[in-house]
């Protein structure tokens, strides 16, 4: 097999080479500057390569080298806290090499070759080990990084195992004559195997009331957040990354704004992880391929992130993977496809768009990994539909796959209702599976309470139509109360301030308490109405103002108790 060839043609990020006879998706190095690329099409002797860097100045006739290997990521200690581009080049290292702007042809390994890690063996000489076996651990910040045999390792007996300080490349174990270092490589486009996939029945708790109570996502599930620009996709994604109860967060900034990544890069290290007390960054891997970085690397970035997520799942961790935004990824596919002059499908997207999307989301799962541990990957994919039009291909193809849909709404944004998740159009299909967990872990009547709230909101939407026609004065009193209660659900419960130090995270029991209090208000109001009290008196009780403010108070739970007391008192004083 020949590995050396020459360039035949250059057109933007697509380069055609002859003489290398590669396999599909082999990584090749193009031109005198050795720009990295990937073979995406083979026509006779012509290999079509998507290049991950800018090809300006590259000429036909320059050399092309085939590495003979597919695009792979390096997995091992050092992943956490890293910031990579779409093909796992560490951005801080690139900055040292090429300065503040990203230069061409720079290569840097994903994992540092110098850093030494303290390896503590978990097996002894003579033990039997197989693919995925945990052979030892490394303490990486607050996390225990389990060192596993790669999924393609052969079963055998441990002949030698070391303890002490090693780099990721130094061998630490010998199994039937084969030595393994701590680091393993895995091709990004190939899912890492699991023994068994489970049905997801544990929620990913996010601390966002509208998500946890109304539209929960299961660990191992996939959710889509579509929304026009400015509706808060990124803020929602970042809140999830900060506060969800995942062990590891993989955040992929795919074709998004540079300043947004900077925000993540400055905020995450400063945020405290509520469980470990250490910086949130210590359990995070960031992939930043901004919109002006090469489009082919953007295409690869989601796979790079997913493979890293799978590696941590294999250790038995719950991983949350955020992809912001999958639309930019789809556009990268479209851009490359059009350079290849492929027959376009809908709106110029390639016909394989749907297939690629489902392959990606299918890698989300909760399951038993090769080492016998239960882990999960929950995927939260942002979708940026052009013009906010949800009928476009990326949104539609995504909705066919995911089971949770958090619809962001421009109208809500205009009235500064945050998070802008529309309670009428969003849905979750995990209600049935998660019901038991909520009953056992929050409250027996939690599912009913939620159904009640959704009914009130639904009723409000119907009544609003009437109000638009005839004004609210002509409604009967019970319906006026429904409107007031719905308003409370919206303003007190659904609205949440991601920037407020107290309100940004709301634990499940507090969510339950708040919603219960609104229900109580509603019940008391109905009773007062029956007793002949005027609507205006009920609607404008001073306790509402206090309730509204309670979520921002430092001691919010005590404040809620006070609200309940005031509520009882003020209702009892109401007279017909």
Q: Which of residues 279-308 bind another protein (CB under 8 A)?
A: 288, 290-293, 295
Q: Output 8 or 25, the one with its CB closest to another protein.
A: 8
* DSSP class of 210: I
Q: Output 416 or 573, the one with its CB closest to another protein.
A: 416
Using CB under 8 A as the criterion, what x/- string covers residues 115-154 for binding another protein? ----------------------------------------
Structure tokens at 184: 């393993």
Give the Cα separation of 148 and 171 in Å (integer).
Answer: 13
Q: Out of 141, 150, 156, 388, name the contact with another protein by CB under 8 A.
A: 388
H, E, C per residue of 505-567: CCCHHHHHHHHHHHHHHHHHHHHHHHCCCCHHHHHCCHHHHHHHHHCCCCCHHHHHHHHHHHH
Give the Cα separation of 285 and 266 in Å (integer).
Answer: 14
Tally of CB atoms within 10 A around 148: 27
Q: Which of residues 175-214 bind another protein (CB under 8 A)?
A: none
How far does CA 517 lie from the centroid of its chain? 32
**At 306, is the secondary structure helix, strand, or coil?**
helix
Q: Output 322 or 365, the one with its CB closest to another protein.
A: 322
Q: Which of residues 339-378 bind another protein (CB under 8 A)?
A: 341, 344, 347-348
Q: Does 229 bind another protein (CB under 8 A)?
A: yes
What residue ranges in 212-363 does DSSP mark as E strands? 222-226, 248-254, 284-289, 318-324
The three-point CA angle 287-288-291 to 5° equals 140
Give the Cα separation of 103 and 121 in Å (integer).
Answer: 41
Q: Which of residues 230-259 bind another protein (CB under 8 A)?
A: 230, 253, 255, 257-259
Query: Stretches 37-45, 50-58, 141-149, 176-184: which one binds another protein (CB under 8 A)?
Result: 50-58
Q: How far is the CB of 69 from another protein (least distance, A)?
A: 26
Residue with tokens 């084969």: 178
Contact 357, 120 (CB under 8 A): no
Task: Kindly give the pairing relationship between strand 318-324 and strand 248-254.
Answer: parallel
Q: Which of residues 473-502 bind another protein (CB under 8 A)?
A: 473-474, 491, 499
Query: Stretches 60-68, 71-79, 189-197, 365-373: which one binds another protein (CB under 8 A)?
Result: 60-68
Q: Out of 43, 470, 530, 554, name the contact with another protein by CB under 8 A.
A: 470
Using CB under 8 A as the criterion, what x/- string covers residues 63-102 for binding another protein? --------------------x-------xx-xx--xxxxx
Q: Does 569 bind another protein (CB under 8 A)?
A: no
Q: Does 391 bind another protein (CB under 8 A)?
A: no
| 432 contacts: CB under 8 Å, gap ≥ 6 | none
Relative orientation angle of helices 508-530 and 542-550, to the nearest 10 degrees: 170
- Total residues in contact with another protein, by rule CB under 8 A: 81
Query: Stretches 269-277, 356-364, 367-375, 413-421: which one binds another protein (CB under 8 A)?
Result: 413-421
Query: Stretches 21-29, 332-340, 422-430, 454-462: which one binds another protein (CB under 8 A)?
Result: 332-340
Q: Out of 27, 36, 39, 58, name the contact with another protein by CB under 8 A.
A: 58
Q: Does 103 bind another protein (CB under 8 A)?
A: yes
């Amino acid at each position: 097999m020949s590995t050396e060839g020459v360039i035949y043609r250059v057109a933007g990020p697509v380069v055609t080479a002859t003489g290398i006879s590669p396999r599909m998706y082999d990584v090749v190095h193009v031109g005198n500057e050795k720009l990295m690329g990937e073979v995406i099409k083979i026509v006779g002797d012509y290999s079509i390569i998507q290049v991950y860097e800018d090809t300006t100045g590259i000429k036909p006739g320059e050399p092309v080298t085939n590495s003979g290997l597919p695009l792979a990521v390096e997995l091992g200690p050092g992943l956490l806290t890293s910031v990579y581009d779409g093909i796992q080049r560490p951005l801080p290292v690139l900055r040292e090499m090429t300065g503040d702007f990203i230069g061409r042809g720079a290569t840097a390994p994903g994992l540092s070759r110098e850093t030494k890690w303290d390896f503590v063996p978990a097996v002894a000489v003579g033990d039997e080990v197989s693919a995925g076996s945990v052979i030892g651990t490394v303490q990486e910040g607050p996390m225990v990084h389990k060192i596993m045999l790669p999924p393609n390792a052969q079963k055998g007996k441990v002949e030698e195992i070391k303890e002490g300080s090693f780099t990721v490349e130094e061998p630490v174990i010998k199994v039937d004559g084969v030595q393994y270092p701590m680091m393993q490589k895995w091709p990004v486009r190939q899912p890492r195997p699991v023994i068994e996939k489970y049905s997801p029945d544990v929620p990913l708790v996010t601390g966002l009331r509208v998500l946890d109570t109304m539209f929960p996502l299961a660990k191992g599930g996939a959710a889509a957040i579509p929304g026009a620009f400015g509706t808060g996709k990124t803020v929602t994604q970042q809140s999830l990354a900060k506060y969800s109860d995942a062990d590891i967060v993989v955040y992929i900034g795919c074709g998004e704004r540079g300043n947004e990544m900077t925000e993540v890069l400055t905020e995450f290290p400063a945020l405290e992880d509520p469980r470990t007390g250490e910086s949130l960054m210590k359990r995070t891997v960031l992939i930043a391929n901004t919109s002006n970085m090469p489009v082919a690397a953007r295409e690869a970035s989601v796979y790079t992130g997913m493979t890293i997520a799978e590696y941590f799942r294999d250790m038995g961790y719950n991983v949350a993977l955020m992809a912001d935004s999958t639309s930019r990824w789809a556009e990268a596919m479209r851009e490359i496809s059009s350079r290849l002059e492929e027959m376009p499908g809908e709106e110029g997207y390639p016909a394989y768009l749907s297939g690629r999307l489902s392959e990606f989301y299918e890698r989300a799962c909760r399951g038993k990994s090769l080492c016998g541990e239960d882990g999960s990957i929950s995927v939260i994919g942002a979708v940026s539909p052009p013009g906010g039009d949800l009928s476009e291909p990326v949104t539609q193809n995504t909705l066919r796959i995911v089971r949770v849909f958090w619809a962001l709404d421009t109208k809500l944004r205009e009235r500064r209702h945050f998070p802008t998740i529309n309670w009428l159009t969003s849905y979750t299909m995990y209600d049935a599976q998660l019901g038991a967990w909520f009953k056992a872990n929050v409250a027996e009547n939690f599912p009913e309470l939620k159904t009640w709230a959704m009914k009130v909101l639904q009723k409000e939407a119907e009544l609003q139509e009437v109000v638009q026609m005839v004004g609210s004065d002509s409604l009967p009193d019970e319906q006026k109360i429904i409107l007031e209660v719905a308003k409370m659900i919206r303003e007190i419960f659904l609205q949440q301030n991601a920037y407020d130090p107290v309100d940004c995270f709301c634990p499940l029991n507090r969510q339950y308490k708040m919603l219960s209090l609104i229900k109580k208000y509603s019940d008391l109001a109905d009773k007062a109405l029956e007793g002949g009290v005027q609507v205006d008196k009920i609607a404008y009780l001073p306790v509402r103002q206090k309730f509204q403010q309670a979520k921002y108070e430092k001691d919010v739970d005590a404040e809620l108790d006070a609200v309940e007391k005031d509520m009882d008192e003020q209702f009892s004083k109401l007279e017909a």
